Chains A and B, each alone.
Chain A
Amino acid sequence: QKEVEQNSGPLSVPEGAIASLNCTYSDRGSQSFFWYRQYSGKSPELIMFIYSNGDKEDGRFTAQLNKASQYVSLLIRDSQPSDSATYLCAGYFNDYKLSFGAGTTVTVRA
């Protein structure tokens, strides 16, 4: 079983709407979670990381972590066409391994 799962997508939202991305994980010992954005043909770039239960906001992005339910989410508010990309969820496990989900492709319609 994959340690990090991203089952949603692809996701299409109108400009200005909220895009909601979800990720679940299987290891209760995992402590750190990351959201990366990857434009087509480019390398992943870090958007946010979250260690603690609850919400973490950075500009238009909000990451949410619920360790009891083992899920991580990313909200993109006021979505822009430039947000169109694949979003990768990753969990850092205690053996120095960063495990990635398969990604969710987001398209923001102008």
Chain B
Amino acid sequence: EAQVTQNPRYLITVTGKKLTVTCSQNMNHEYMSWYRQDPGLGLRQIYYSMNVEVTDKGDVPEGYKVSRKEKRNFPLILESPSPNQTSLYFCASSKNGETQYFGPGTRLLVL
């Protein structure tokens, strides 16, 4: 089954404790992206990657890091999480950056 998976689905952490949210897709897509979704603000792009070792900033990259060492994986790293990073996070993949397929989401609470 073609899918995008994210782990963990739910995470509660404390300010400053580094965390990684994993994202994996099995569709051999070149393009992957991370979004955060907050009430009233819709989906905002954090980072995207057009292929292995090629990443670029989206609209809200501050406080986040990404890497793309393999085509199927695109982890999101929060080196020092803060409460304003409490949000719902979605990973997405696409063959060409247009039609995007979303993972199930990761709900993060930073205390």
A contact set with B: CB distance below 8 Å: 6, 32, 34, 42-46, 49, 88, 90, 92, 96-103
Which size bracket describes the interface of B in this complex?
20 to 34
* B residues 80-111 in Cβ contact with A at 8 Å: 90, 97-105
Q: Given known contacts A49-B99, A97-B58, is B90 in contact with A44 (CB within 8 Å)?
A: yes
B contact set with A: CB distance below 8 Å: 31, 33, 35, 40-45, 48, 50, 56, 58-59, 90, 97-105
Distance between B23 CB and nearest chain A CB, rounded to angstroms:
12
- Cα(A92)–Cα(B92), bound, Å: 14
Q: Given known contacts A44-B90, A102-B41, A102-B42, is B104 in contact with A97 (CB within 8 Å)?
A: no
The answer to whether A96 and B31 have CB atoms under 8 Å apart is: yes
Residues of B within 8 A of A102 (CB): 40-42
- Cα(A32)–Cα(B96), bound, Å: 12
- Cα(A92)–Cα(B33), bound, Å: 13
Q: Which of A42, A92, A99, A101 contacts B98 (CB 8 A)?
A: A92
